[in-house]
Amino acid sequence: MRDILARDFRPKRIIDNPSEDKLREWALEQGGMITEFGNLAVTTKVRNRIAKFTEVVVGEPDPEDARFVSEVLQYLRDKEMVMLDRVMCQAPDCKRNCRTYVTADYPRLPLMWGNTLFPQEGGEPDFTAIMVPEWPEKKVLVFPESGITLIAGSDYKGENKKAMLRQVMYWAKKEGNLGLHAASKILRVFKDGKLTDKSFILFGLSGTGKTTLSCHSHWLHAPERVIIRQDDVVILRFDGSAIGTEESFYMKTEGLEPSAQPLLYAAAISPRAILENVRVEPETGKVDFFDTTLTSNGRAMVKRRDIAFTDNEIDLEKVDFVIFITRHHDILPPIVRLTPEWGAAAFMLGESVETSAGDPAEAGKPRRVVGTNPFIMGSEEEEGNSFLSILRNNPDVQCFLLNTGSVGGVTRGQKVTVRDSVKIIEMIARDKIVWKKDDFWGYEVPVEIPGVDLARFDLSSYYPEEKVVEMSQDLKQERLEWLSQFKGLNRDIINALKL
């Protein structure tokens, strides 16, 4: 694909790395508006990722894809394009040059994307994305071997963001590491009378609470504190360290308000933030984070430095805890502690629900996504096996399955609140949870969590015993059937469920 690009990519004019101020000025001219907070708000035609129109092309493209690429490149010969260069990752041996081309009528896209990563440092790009939002057909072609993504028919910033992250995760896998769709943070708490840093990575599909939990203060008081590192993608190395990728957060804004999410709210109203598909009153610039008229997938692109409790680092020297965020609504407790094999099984099961960030038409329906990562390219079981190898090489890393849904059913059951989840993560860091083994599942369930009333989640309050047994057996069978499709998966992962 790089050969084709070098030969046939000939835009009429390339605007080479314009300044942020210039891009902001152009974005205002192209329909952006200034809000009551003094930040920029933009509206897009496409308001979520076009996953169903995305194709990963390994090797030579088939005739249909080749024709499509040729037509798009021919079209661009009469177009002006903005070119922007940025750097992903900050670890010296992981830095990757990223370049985006966007047709010049959409300056808000390079403006937002440019704020996502770090300033350019020169050199040819490792990863390239070409965006043609006005193309009449929706189509994303990903060429992992050449690091190129062609995005046609979408003006949604998240498409370009994920194009680069998808490529860096593929590169990480080729290097023997593992790119994860996960956030990262540190809790600095007293443990055994000593102030100690405990590092977390949190898995979760977009819209299931990953950003909410990774950006929460846990209401800690100095000298205890949280240190927020990453929101979306980290690279997990074999030694248990985790490399960050981005310099921003791209967070959902639906229902955002200061009492429940003060850190995120403060960042979203910063003058540096860019609001995307958030309802803004044209006459007054008043912002309404509760109005979903445009979409329930409204977003704010915010800089890390505008989120309290961040610092200048984006990496974790060593991961202590892995949290898989899921949304069950029946028999799963708010938290369970997993063996390494069960941790790898949780990675492969990828249990959650669809959200408006992925497919609005399917929002709320149960969904399984390996690694809660819809951007995996190549073998999924290879990633599960690698994850197990990393856990076994780092036996001090503990894995947990965190349920942010409810227990006992959606309507009559008990909701697992954000306050519950925040307290649970804090108590994991403090090692204050009392556990017991669940003989049916083989993992550990909580007996006592300081600050959380576990009696609210007692299954006997919602189901007769025989119903719990039936639902447990059905869920185990469903999980085993899912895992059985991965023929190259380490058998220890499957056997963890067969107790």
Tokens of 24: 């902001």
Instruction: Report pLDDT for 237.
Output: 96
Q: Using one digit for the tens of pLDDT, what is the confidence trace for 393-436?
A: 999 999 999 999 999 998 899 999 999 999 999 999 999 999 99
Please choose, from the candidates 261, 249, 263, the residue with its C-alpha nearest in 3D space to the C-alpha of residue 308: 263
pLDDT over 90 for what percent of the chain?
Answer: 88
pLDDT level of residue 355 (50, 70, 90 thresholds): low
Return the pLDDT at 244: 98
For residue 286, what pLDDT is reported?
98
Question: Which residues, including other chains, have CB under 8 Å from residue 330's CB and lie 6 or more apart?
Answer: 407, 408, 409, 413, 471
| 40: nearest Cα among 119, 109, 102 | 109
The yes-or-no verdict on residue 353 having pLDDT over 80 is no
pLDDT category at 359 given cuts 50, 70, 90 is low
pLDDT of 364 over the 80 cut: no
At 132 the pLDDT is 98
CB 387 within 8 A of CB 344: yes
Q: How far apart are CA 159 and CA 54, in angstroms?
A: 10
**Peptide bond preceding 18: is omega within 30 degrees of 0, i.e. cis?**
no
Q: b/e string for 332-349 if b means 16 or more Cβ within 10 A?
A: bbbbbbbbbbbbbbbbbb
Q: pLDDT (tens digit, 9 = 90+) per residue, 88-141?
A: 999 999 999 999 999 999 999 999 999 999 999 999 999 999 999 999 999 999
The answer, yes or no, to whether residue 357 has pLDDT greater than 70, is no
Three-state SS string across the chain, please?
CHHHHHHHCCCCEEEECCCHHHHHHHHHHCCCEECCCCCEEECCCCCCCCHHHEEECCCCCCHHHHHHHHHHHHHHHHCEEEEEEEEECCCCCCCEEEEEEEECCCCHHHHHHHCCCEECCCCCCCEEEEEECCCCCCEEEEECCCCEEEEECCCCHHHHHHHHHHHHHHHHHHCCCEEECEEEEEEEEEECCEEEEEEEEEECCCCCCHHHHHCCCCCCCCCCEEEEEECCCEEECCCCCEEECCCEEEEECCCCCCCCCHHHHHHHCCCCCEEECCEECCCCCCEECCCCCCCCCCEEEEEHHHCCCECCCCCECCCCEEEEEECCCCCCCCEEEECHHHHHHHHHHCEEECCCCCCHHHCCCEEECHHHCCCCCCCHHHHHHHHHHHHHHCCCCEEEEEECCEECCCCCCEECCHHHHHHHHHHHHHCCCEEEECCCCCCEEEEEECCECHHHHCHHHCCCHHHHHHHHHHHHHHHHHHHCCCCCCCHHHHHCCCC
Domain ranges in the chain with CATH number 3.40.449.10: 2-31+49-175
Burial (Cβ within 10 Å: 0-12, 13-18, ≥19) of residue 318: middle
Choose which CATH entry (3.40.710.10, 3.90.228.20, 1.10.287.610, 3.50.50.60) describes domain 182-246+314-495: 3.90.228.20
pLDDT band at residue 262, thresholds of 50, 70 and 90? confident
Question: Tokens 């000939």 sit at which residue?
Answer: 10
Q: What pTM value is reported for the model?
A: 0.92
Mean per-residue pLDDT of the chain: 94
For residue 368 the two structure tokens come to: 């399984």
Residues forming CATH 3.90.228.20 domain(s) in the chain = 182-246+314-495
| CATH superfamily of the domain spanning 2-31+49-175 | Phosphoenolpyruvate Carboxykinase, domain 1 (3.40.449.10)
Residue 361's pLDDT band, with cuts at 50, 70 and 90, is: low
Q: Is the model's pLDDT at 3 over the cut of 90?
A: no
